[in-house]
A and B are shown apart, each in its own frame.
Chain A
Amino acid sequence: EPEVTQTPSHQVTQMGQEVILRCVPISNHLYFYWYRQILGQKVEFLVSFYNNEISEKSEIFDDQFSVERPDGSNFTLKIRSTKLEDSAMYFCASLRAGVDNEQFFGPGTRLTVL
């Protein structure tokens, strides 16, 4: 069964550093998302992406965040200057649409900012 993959599984970085989290969505999916989950808290929407542009973003997704689909397969989330409070699990999801609107989530990247 096709699945969403994410790399790395765990990223440790120093405050102020830039990080790039990578995702490979399911190949025939058209909509892409990033969510995050701070330890012990609920899953929060960050951004949705369709047709090579951002469809919607949350208040969390400020100027420090950016997304890109550099080629036909990868979907990346960049945090320009990490803060301690960016420590969380980051989940990528993709959706084919037109079927049952099921979003398929990746296994997540655990980001730890020191």
Chain B
Amino acid sequence: LAKTTQPISMDSYEGQEVNITCSHNNIATNDYITWYQQFPSQGPRFIIQGYKTKVKNEVASLFIPADRKSSTLSLPRVSLSDTAVYYCLVGDLSGGYNKLIFGAGTRLAVHP
């Protein structure tokens, strides 16, 4: 499994765009990039997943450069409720049932 590196913590203010970058230099050809969010005392929640270029959904965007050695989760106009830990996971999904390997994640604090 590819090792991922992301900032331990970030601070932002309401209404700002937040970009969290994850490095995964050893990403393999079959690996996908997935981001999960976890609020205190809750289970992780899937945010977005991608393989290359850009993916967008109603919650976030995911930017993946051509070399795929990093990815950036972009949260537009954050609110206080976006305060959470954000995890970048990289792995081969071809097995269909692969376990998720979580790192320490990025603790995002959104301030008024």
Contacts and interface: CB of A to CB of B under 8 A. Distances in A.
Interface of A: 4, 31, 33, 35, 42-45, 48, 50, 55-56, 58, 89, 91, 93, 95, 97-98, 100-108, 110
B98 A101 contact: yes
Contact of B96 (A58, A97, A105, A107): A97
A45 B42 contact: no
Interface in B26-65: 32, 34, 38, 41-46, 49
Contact of B97 (A43, A97, A105, A106): A97
B42 A102 contact: no
Measured as residues with beta carbon below 8 angstroms from the partner, the interface class of chain B is 20 to 34
Interface in B69-103: 87, 93, 96-103
Pick from A31, A58, A101 the residue with the most CB of B within 10 Å.
A101
B96 A31 contact: yes
A104 B36 CA distance: 10
A35, A50, A93, A103 interface centre (most CB from chain B within 10 Å): A103
Contacts of B101: 45
A46 B32 CA distance: 22
A110 B42 CA distance: 10
A99 B38 CA distance: 22
Q: Which 3 A-B pairs have the closest CB atoms?
A: A105-B43, A43-B102, A31-B97
A48 B97 contact: yes
Contacts of A108: 41-43
A101 B102 contact: no
Contact of A103 (B41, B100, B105): B100
